[in-house]
Structure 1
């Protein structure tokens, strides 16, 4: 991570909803979010907190086996979709395209949140946000957000 983060949020798992709210306040203008962190860092937990804050009533879970989960919420009177993707099991960009992930990434009326984006980084459109979750303690995390424009 060479560039400076545009946003950093330190949080504990007990106040993750506050962190998700701060993230949304900054990041809602960007439609594609790449979410990185080691196994168990809390990527899906952060997505769950964000969806709770947005009023998503669908069950939010890790899309590890489904590859794509879809959640809907009311975004100021507009029905909006979040595509929550997990690329951990992908073997490359071609597999992601065949699974329909490129369509989700290019949908201008939806949000796409991608866990394990390292598996097919060339599919991520510009601009997008790349978020890194670091484990800083048993219950503490540091979220660093970078704007990827080039």
Structure 2
């Protein structure tokens, strides 16, 4: 190590210093500037990528909010449609019940009319049978006075008038 200290040469030191300065100048001109430019470019690229990512994150948040809003609107529309369907069902059921009631009332009225007409026909037939039986009985009782049909009908009408009067 002593040999190294004793062998120190100022000339060699001077030339090495000049070469170092030239090397630094050349590196600065040809290497540092392109390296710094590429680092700045890379930094700008990363910065832009981060901004894009932030914008994408914001857009995703907006889309999520829009999707949630659309989902709520779809649910509200579905609920409204279900409500309208229930109302329509109730209305149709009420109309069907009303129609069925009207038809039932019509059928009942027709049935009552038919019953009344059949009742009148039956009463008329019974009156005729009663009259015929009465005539037969009366004919047997008073055979001589009721020999023809005309006199029998007059007697029957007279008796019916007496019965109706009472």
Higher relative CO (Cα under 8 Å, sequence separation at least 6) belongs to 1
Q: TM-score w.r.t. structure 2 length?
A: 0.13
Instruction: Name the structure with the higher helix share.
Output: 2
The structure with the largest alpha-carbon Rg is 2
Instruction: Name the structure with the higher strand share.
Output: 1
